[in-house]
Chains A and B, each alone.
Chain A
Amino acid sequence: MNTKYQTIESLHKELIARSFTAVELLNSYLENVDARESELNCFVSQTREQALEAATKVDSMIESGREISLVGGIPAALKDNFNWIGTKTTASSKILDNYVSPYNATVTQRLLDANAVFVGKTNMDAFAHGSSTETSDYGVTANPYNTQRVSGGSSGGSAAAVAANMSVYAIGSETAGSVRGPAAWCGLYGFAPTYGRNSRYGVVAMGSSLDRPGVLANCVEDCALVTDIIAGKDSHDATTIPVEKVEYRKALSADHTGLKIGIPKQFLDERIDPQVSARVREMLAEYEKLGATLVDIDLLDPKYAVAVYTIVCRSEVSSNLARIDGIRYGHVSEKKAESVLDQIAYNRGEGFGNEAKQRSMTGAYALSAGYYDAYYKKAQKVRTLIIQDFANAFKQVDVIIGPTMPTVAPEQGVTKNNPLFGELADMLTESSALAGLPCISVPVGVNNENLPIGMQIFGPQFAEQLVLDTAYIYQTRIAK
């Protein structure tokens, strides 16, 4: 059975045609897990039992002539910050090592309802704090292209699992560039729709005003198709956009004449690896050949986004992580405590890794009395400026294109002695994240060391279709 890099739809057709069963399909992917998991470390936990049960159910449904959804029986992977009943949801932090989800995230639920088959929960930077998976308490996820390199993060396990053909697609989540980044470094498509399109319910929160679930896959169709299933208003998430259902896959079109593409000069300056910027410029030229108009635009310098993102996100992190106190769940210290507050401090002090502690402390500092106005409030004001900046840009152009990451995947160990690695690596994804814009990273080939380069496309809020279509133009007419 050759399933390598087949699309969800083609695999679905084969399932329906009974070329192979869902269980056979699952096993072929599990063989890849067996072959490379020890080397790559994509999963915090594997869920073979649940996967087999789900695949068996799909087979019996097909057997009895029942209709199955496109993702039914297709092997997938779920980032470990998504709650899934009966599985450990650690968000790659030891403090949650003993936490077993008693409920499903909305994204999990919608996929399970569609008979998704999850082979495992993927590794990530602990609590999604990072762009390398090096902050995971369960070890780094190696890059399938070069195992000396990181896979990116925070959804690094999800990216590596898809890139190593351990799953057809994977669910990730992004706060700044946690879907786009690892997709770029692992040669995948990584799509995150407008903030609020995908429910955050049941996703261990990082920065609540920024978090959004996304999809990592081998093609635009798969990104669109999975989004069609998971997106839409959720009565459990008050920030979801009040649109019940989206249908991006059916409407996909690579036929956009007169597309105006904005190229922010700040995204292609000397801070960007020359091979990366050169490759992105080449691709832009290809768009131009196809009839697109390229417009040089001037956006706020990414350094502002880095600062705003760091303050807003860390502030929210400090509050969001506070609930993990070891009282109802989570790590409990053996140390004898004098008071209940001491007990909580011991539990958290032992349970959290350095990155979570640093981010919690800086965030709490930014929110504390006397500093709130200077940091958090000011950051929110600048965030408004960034949103306006994009709104102005989108008066001139339809979409904006630039490199996803300033470099290709770095060597492992890169985050050592670099406390702001995550935030700096994500410098090109933070502004669009702060504005909640729909975005996709597309794989635009490799550098001279055979390391993938990612190019990101983002559009105005709610312009998912246009963003996906622009990627689809690349996939079908440029990359071919």
Chain B
Amino acid sequence: MKYEIVIGLEIHIQAKTKSKMFCRCDAKYFNAAPNSHVCPVCLGLPGALPVPNKKAIEQCIRLSLALGCNINMFSKFDRKNYFYPDLPKAYQISQYDLPFGYEGNVNIDLSGSREKQIRITRVHMEEDTGKSIHSETKTLLDFNKSGVPLVEVVTEPDFSDVKEVLSFAKRLKQIVKYIGVSDADMEKGQMRFELNMSLRKTGETSLPKYKVEVKNIGSISVLEKVITYEYNRQQEILEKGEIPVQETRGLRDLSGVTYSQRVKEEANDYRYFPEPDIPPIIYTEKEIQELRQTLGELPSEKKARYINDYGVDAALAETLTATKAKAEWFEKAIEGVEDKEVIVAVGKWFVGEVVALMKASKSKLSQLKIQPKQLVALVQLLKSSKISAPSAKQVVVAMFESGIDPETYIRENGLEMVNDESAIQAVVEKVVASNPKVVADMQKNPNAYKFLIGQAMKELQGKANPQQVDKLILARLTSGSN
């Protein structure tokens, strides 16, 4: 490719708090009647004052810590002044020069188990605006969203292709959900992206002379489309020997097509100044340490531990740690289990069978009937040859559907493995006897006997160890006796 992408991201995340950022209104506004979660503060009435929500600030600091940021122990809020009908105070309380978090980094996975570090510029706290609902003839305003706490994460322009951006977006969402800062439900607008993108000739290292900003991207899939669209659009301009206009572009729909909203010359001067209504926010090292304690194990740490301590491979570890709920289920299962082979098998069965069944039935982990320890029991039955692998698959379906104990199900359905060699031998004799053609074919094709294994397993209702059956058939055929 002739051009290389340069992308930096700004991500707005609605912090999960009971009340809004600067007042006591309920922050859960989704599906609420318009303007039902409002008060003098979030409506910007004359004389109303903001009082910062400590929990929201803690969420911002926790996310900063999870993203490896330094923390400003002395921080403050600032006013960002601009007029817009859905901004009731005509300023947004944000943070200008002393964000809670700064200079962090996040590792993202690239193909071939390579990793790349994305630098985090800053993590700061601000408040959401109200919502404008436009129609042909009028605009309606809903201030339920006004003052909902937002954590803004800003990255350096470290992304050089769309996959990196998507990988980062997923990683960030995962971290945010892990530490409980937000549900990051994009359909509810809890996580939104702003893209700063430009192109440079492949091989160049300096930043391009222009930057296009695309605001309000509501999902990872739209993000991907926007990047593709912008790549083509900007490339076309560059090909003509021109430089794309430095501007803010918006989206009309989910197609990824952008349109010019505002060019730089008209850009607002936000007249930032320290918010006089809120005293500076001061934290001690001890308080930050305490907040760090509340993070728990981060997904990257968990993944590394699974690989190192349990011998799980990277791909499985990634899947097991994809969500905190999954990891917790898995950890509950393997608690007290020493045998790494069992641990890995439990991981595989969990991801390969249980999660697959869950997806197929669109159920949630919290609703699972099968209990973590039951899965371990099944794996151990399998390992000790009490049951065959094909039977185990049947058992796990039953466990998933009813929560039945594997032992009970196996007993009730007579699925115990046939370990009696003479019984298997008898079946082998029977199969060999009734398939003379196959036996004859072995002269030409030494693998022809494999068909007999299937026949024997069928006869044994899958309750034997296929290797054992294989061994016995082969022994029977090569012994010469007929």
- Whole-angstrom distance between the alpha carbons of A391 and B271 in the complex? 31
Proximity bits, B273-317, A CB within 8 Å = 1, else 0: 100111100000000000000000000000000000000000000
Partner of A322, one of B83, B273, B279: B83
A278: Cβ under 8 A from any B Cβ? no
Instruction: Give the residue name and chain of the B residue nearest to A312 (CB).
Output: B276
A96: Cβ under 8 A from any B Cβ? yes
A372: Cβ under 8 A from any B Cβ? yes
Between B46, B48, B84, B89, the greatest number of chain A beta carbons within 10 A of the residue's beta carbon is seen for B46
- Which of these binds chain A: B37-45, B215-223, B423-431, B471-479? B37-45
Residues on A with beta carbons closer than 8 Å to the beta carbon of B43: 328
Proximity bits, B103-147, A CB within 8 Å = 1, else 0: 000000000000000000000000000000000000101000000
B241: Cβ under 8 A from any A Cβ? no
Q: Chain B, interface size: which category? A: 20 to 34
The answer to whether residues A327 and B141 also contact, given A316-B276, A376-B273 and a CB cut-off of 8 A, is: yes
Inter-chain contact B45/A102, CB cutoff 8 Å: yes
Inter-chain contact B271/A205, CB cutoff 8 Å: no
Instruction: Give the residue name and chain of the B residue nearest to A344 (CB).
Output: B83
The answer to whether residues A204 and B50 also contact, given A315-B273, A325-B85, A344-B83 and a CB cut-off of 8 A, is: no
Inter-chain contact A319/B277, CB cutoff 8 Å: no
Residues on A with beta carbons closer than 8 Å to the beta carbon of B40: 83, 102-103, 202
- Which of these binds chain B: A12-20, A362-370, A465-473? A362-370
Instruction: Give the residue name and chain of the B residue nearest to A327 (CB).
Output: B85
Inter-chain contact A323/B47, CB cutoff 8 Å: no
Residues on B with beta carbons closer than 8 Å to the beta carbon of A340: 84-85, 139
B81: Cβ under 8 A from any A Cβ? yes
Inter-chain contact A89/B46, CB cutoff 8 Å: yes
B12: Cβ under 8 A from any A Cβ? no
Inter-chain contact A105/B47, CB cutoff 8 Å: yes
Between B39, B51, B84, B90, the greatest number of chain A beta carbons within 10 A of the residue's beta carbon is seen for B90
The answer to whether residues A209 and B51 also contact, given A89-B46, A368-B271 and a CB cut-off of 8 A, is: no
The answer to whether residues A81 and B91 also contact, given A208-B277, A364-B271 and a CB cut-off of 8 A, is: no
Instruction: Give the residue name and chain of the B residue nearest to A329 (CB).
Output: B45
Inter-chain contact A237/B46, CB cutoff 8 Å: no
Considering only residues 262-276 of chain A, those with a C-beta below 8 Å from chain B are none
Partner of B46, one of A207, A324, A367: A324
Between B39, B85, B278, the greatest number of chain A beta carbons within 10 A of the residue's beta carbon is seen for B85
Partner of B45, one of A91, A103, A237, A341: A103
- Whole-angstrom distance between the alpha carbons of A238 and B79 in the complex? 16
Considering only residues 299-325 of chain A, those with a C-beta below 8 Å from chain B are 315-316, 318-319, 322-325
Q: Chain B: interface secondary structure?
A: loop
Residues on A with beta carbons closer than 8 Å to the beta carbon of B269: 368-369
Inter-chain contact B271/A200, CB cutoff 8 Å: no
B88: Cβ under 8 A from any A Cβ? yes
B49: Cβ under 8 A from any A Cβ? yes
- Whole-angstrom distance between the alpha carbons of A39 and B244 in the complex? 68
Partner of B49, one of A200, A315, A329, A341: A200
Proximity bits, A427-440, B CB within 8 Å = 1, else 0: 00000000000000
Considering only residues 197-211 of chain A, those with a C-beta below 8 Å from chain B are 200-205, 207-209
Inter-chain contact A99/B91, CB cutoff 8 Å: no
A463 to chain B, nearest CB (A): 21
Residues on A with beta carbons closer than 8 Å to the beta carbon of B48: 103, 201-202
B51 to chain A, nearest CB (A): 5
Residues on B with beta carbons closer than 8 Å to the beta carbon of A372: 271-273
A235: Cβ under 8 A from any B Cβ? yes
Inter-chain contact B83/A325, CB cutoff 8 Å: yes
Proximity bits, A84-109, B CB within 8 Å = 1, else 0: 00000101000010010011010000
The answer to whether residues A323 and B271 also contact, given A208-B276, A236-B51 and a CB cut-off of 8 A, is: no
Residues on B with beta carbons closer than 8 Å to the beta carbon of A89: 46-47
Residues on B with beta carbons closer than 8 Å to the beta carbon of A344: 83, 85
B52: Cβ under 8 A from any A Cβ? yes
Inter-chain contact A238/B271, CB cutoff 8 Å: no
A239: Cβ under 8 A from any B Cβ? yes
Partner of A323, one of B46, B139, B277: B46
B190 to chain A, nearest CB (A): 26
A148 to chain B, nearest CB (A): 33
B241 to chain A, nearest CB (A): 32
- Whole-angstrom distance between the alpha carbons of A319 and B87 in the complex? 13
A316 to chain B, nearest CB (A): 6
Inter-chain contact B44/A238, CB cutoff 8 Å: no
Residues on B with beta carbons closer than 8 Å to the beta carbon of A325: 83, 85, 90
- Whole-angstrom distance between the alpha carbons of A391 and B52 in the complex? 30
- Whole-angstrom distance between the alpha carbons of A205 and B89 in the complex? 12
Residues on B with beta carbons closer than 8 Å to the beta carbon of A376: 273
A176 to chain B, nearest CB (A): 15
Instruction: Give the residue name and chain of the A residue nearest to B41 (CB).
Output: A236
- Whole-angstrom distance between the alpha carbons of A217 and B456 in the complex? 107
Instruction: Give the residue name and chain of the B residue nearest to A370 (CB).
Output: B269
- Whole-angstrom distance between the alpha carbons of A235 and B91 in the complex? 22
Instruction: Give the residue name and chain of the A residue nearest to B83 (CB).
Output: A344
Residues on B with beta carbons closer than 8 Å to the beta carbon of A205: 46-47, 49
Inter-chain contact B49/A237, CB cutoff 8 Å: yes
- Whole-angstrom distance between the alpha carbons of A20 and B90 in the complex? 50
Inter-chain contact A238/B49, CB cutoff 8 Å: yes
- Whole-angstrom distance between the alpha carbons of A82 and B81 in the complex? 24
- Whole-angstrom distance between the alpha carbons of A237 and B40 in the complex? 13
- Whole-angstrom distance between the alpha carbons of A201 and B49 in the complex? 6
Inter-chain contact A328/B44, CB cutoff 8 Å: yes
Considering only residues 92-134 of chain A, those with a C-beta below 8 Å from chain B are 96, 99, 102-103, 105
- Whole-angstrom distance between the alpha carbons of A372 and B81 in the complex? 14
The answer to whether residues A239 and B277 also contact, given A319-B79, A367-B81 and a CB cut-off of 8 A, is: yes
Residues on A with beta carbons closer than 8 Å to the beta carbon of B89: 322-323
- Whole-angstrom distance between the alpha carbons of A315 and B39 in the complex? 26
A464 to chain B, nearest CB (A): 20
Inter-chain contact A322/B81, CB cutoff 8 Å: yes
- Whole-angstrom distance between the alpha carbons of A91 and B49 in the complex? 17
Inter-chain contact B81/A323, CB cutoff 8 Å: no
Instruction: Give the residue name and chain of the A residue nearest to B85 (CB).
Output: A327
Residues on B with beta carbons closer than 8 Å to the beta carbon of A341: 83-84
Proximity bits, B14-44, A CB within 8 Å = 1, else 0: 0000000000000000000000000110011
Considering only residues 319-359 of chain A, those with a C-beta below 8 Å from chain B are 319, 322-325, 327-329, 340-341, 344
Inter-chain contact B46/A99, CB cutoff 8 Å: yes
- Whole-angstrom distance between the alpha carbons of A194 and B238 in the complex? 62
Residues on A with beta carbons closer than 8 Å to the beta carbon of B91: 319, 322-323
The answer to whether residues A203 and B47 also contact, given A319-B91, A322-B83, A323-B90 and a CB cut-off of 8 A, is: yes
Between A83, A105, A322, A376, the greatest number of chain B beta carbons within 10 A of the residue's beta carbon is seen for A322
Residues on B with beta carbons closer than 8 Å to the beta carbon of A203: 47
Inter-chain contact B88/A323, CB cutoff 8 Å: yes
Inter-chain contact A322/B90, CB cutoff 8 Å: yes
Inter-chain contact B47/A83, CB cutoff 8 Å: yes
Residues on A with beta carbons closer than 8 Å to the beta carbon of B44: 323, 328
Residues on A with beta carbons closer than 8 Å to the beta carbon of B85: 325, 327, 340, 344
Inter-chain contact A201/B276, CB cutoff 8 Å: no
Instruction: Give the residue name and chain of the A residue nearest to B278 (CB).
Output: A238
- Whole-angstrom distance between the alpha carbons of A89 and B272 in the complex? 29
**Known A319-B90, A368-B271; 14 more pairs at CB < 8 Å:** A89-B46, A91-B46, A96-B46, A103-B40, A237-B49, A238-B52, A238-B279, A316-B276, A319-B273, A322-B91, A325-B85, A340-B85, A341-B84, A369-B271
Task: Please give me the 4 A-B residue pairs with the lowest Cβ-Cβ distance, nearest first.
Answer: A322-B90, A208-B276, A367-B271, A209-B276
Residues of B within 8 A of A (CB): 39-40, 43-52, 79, 81, 83-85, 88-91, 139, 141, 269, 271-273, 276-279
Selected A-B contacts with CB under 8 Å, 30 pairs: A83-B40, A83-B45, A89-B47, A99-B46, A102-B40, A103-B48, A201-B49, A202-B40, A208-B276, A208-B277, A236-B49, A237-B49, A239-B276, A239-B277, A318-B81, A319-B271, A322-B89, A323-B46, A323-B88, A323-B90, A323-B91, A325-B90, A328-B141, A329-B45, A344-B83, A364-B81, A367-B272, A369-B269, A372-B271, A372-B273
